[in-house]
Copies of this chain bind each other. A is one copy, B any other.
């Protein structure tokens, strides 16, 4: 196990009706003037934003609003948010929505106290050293942004997706009410589940030896997702299944299951180019990329894939030919994704094989490699995408 620091100071407020307590938590964490940040309308239409306002008012907390966050959130709205916060003396950002909304809020939170362009944090030019406190009310179990210090934003002018991270961007509180996720359509529910599973797999495939505790914790979360996701696809108002998925999604990404081990974020990196170019849902892109990546890298550590196959997908171990079991596990994963309504190849995603060179180029490797479980050259990425073209 590698040395590590783990710091997850977010206060998680979980369960039915908890969003009605938001005013109390904003006050506790020092907010006096709040930006309520949300998406394209469902949080308003459902009455959620009204309940949030009522709770803030009951605590005497002032607020302004900024809606319009799109999936794959754009830098343009972040700039607007930064201006609004500055001119209104906002001291607390409250994101009401899914991962895109929270990521956009994080962009605003680090941008407000920064003299330069907030994009510097995403382009790698600067490191976050100050940020407004962020609270969240989560409406989609997927991104894990409610418990993480990470944020991904898309630059509108180039459609490039870039990310940043800092403990200063971990929300001070996150309110998780599984009821709020019950109205989510099956496709988005499936995308969220895929994103959660990808966050676990990106940690699971490691070159660090002797990390049984985090291996087992990863497997525990994957087993939960495999049990609960089909239940919510079949029965969207199943509160208990929604609750298990929601907590699994948070634990999957606050890094408690990923500490002390090398990780691999190449499936996420490659997917960002897909959703950047086609504006498809991140989870759908991951469903296409991740099993293809697995096929490509499997030979690097057959026993780890055999472990996944047997412990997570219940395959029989083939002790004579572990690679058979390893492959069965990958196929089982792809079958699972199909069963929850995910696309599993370029065609069903709406991507084009002829764009592979563009996708590879946009990754910005410039002839170099991207590190991880297996270091990937541009040619390797093209091979993975070709597997994703051919997948059935």
Q: Is A223 an interface residue (CB 8 A)?
A: yes
A214: chain B residues within 8 A (beta carbon): 247
Do A216 and B220 touch (CB < 8 A)? yes
Kindly identify which residue among B12, B217, B243 contacts A220, using a CB–CB cutoff of 8 Å: B217
Q: Which residue of B lies closest to A178 (CB)?
A: B1
A320: chain B residues within 8 A (beta carbon): none
Do A259 and B240 touch (CB < 8 A)? no
Do A221 and B228 touch (CB < 8 A)? no
Do B217 and A251 touch (CB < 8 A)? yes
A18: chain B residues within 8 A (beta carbon): 3
A224: chain B residues within 8 A (beta carbon): 212-213, 216
Q: Is A256 an interface residue (CB 8 A)?
A: yes
Query: B-facing mask of A169-185, CB < 8 A → 1, else 0?
Result: 00000000010000000
Given contacts A213-B224, A220-B220, contact A247 B1 (CB under 8 A): yes
Complex CA gap A211/B251 in Å reads 14
Closest approach, in angstroms, between the C-beta of A39 and any C-beta of chain B?
A: 25
Which residues, 209 to 254 on A, are CB-close (under 8 Å) to B? 209-214, 216-217, 219-221, 223-224, 227-228, 240-241, 243-244, 247-248, 251
Which residues, 1 to 56 on A, are CB-close (under 8 Å) to B? 1-16, 18
Q: Which residue of B lies closest to A11 (CB)?
A: B7
Complex CA gap A370/B3 in Å reads 42
Closest approach, in angstroms, between the C-beta of A171 and any C-beta of chain B?
A: 12
Q: Is A322 an interface residue (CB 8 A)?
A: no
Closest approach, in angstroms, between the C-beta of A120 and any C-beta of chain B?
A: 25
Given contacts A220-B219, A220-B220, contact A247 B11 (CB under 8 A): no
Closest approach, in angstroms, between the C-beta of A166 and any C-beta of chain B?
A: 15
Query: B-facing mask of A68-102, CB < 8 A → 1, else 0?
Result: 00000000000000000000000000000000000
Kindly identify which residue among B7, B213, B227 contacts A248, using a CB–CB cutoff of 8 Å: B213
Kindly identify which residue among B5, B216, B220, B244 contacts A210, using a CB–CB cutoff of 8 Å: B244
Q: Is A341 an interface residue (CB 8 A)?
A: no
Kindly identify which residue among B1, B2, B11 contacts A244, using a CB–CB cutoff of 8 Å: B1
Kindly identify which residue among B4, B212, B213, B223 contacts A216, using a CB–CB cutoff of 8 Å: B223
A209: chain B residues within 8 A (beta carbon): 240
**28 A-B contacts, Cβ less than 8 Å apart?**
A1-B15, A1-B240, A1-B243, A3-B14, A3-B15, A3-B18, A5-B11, A6-B11, A6-B14, A7-B9, A7-B12, A14-B259, A15-B260, A210-B240, A210-B243, A212-B227, A212-B244, A213-B220, A213-B224, A213-B248, A213-B251, A214-B247, A216-B221, A217-B251, A219-B220, A243-B260, A247-B259, A251-B256
7 nearest CB pairs, A to B = A3-B15, A210-B240, A216-B220, A220-B220, A9-B9, A1-B243, A6-B12
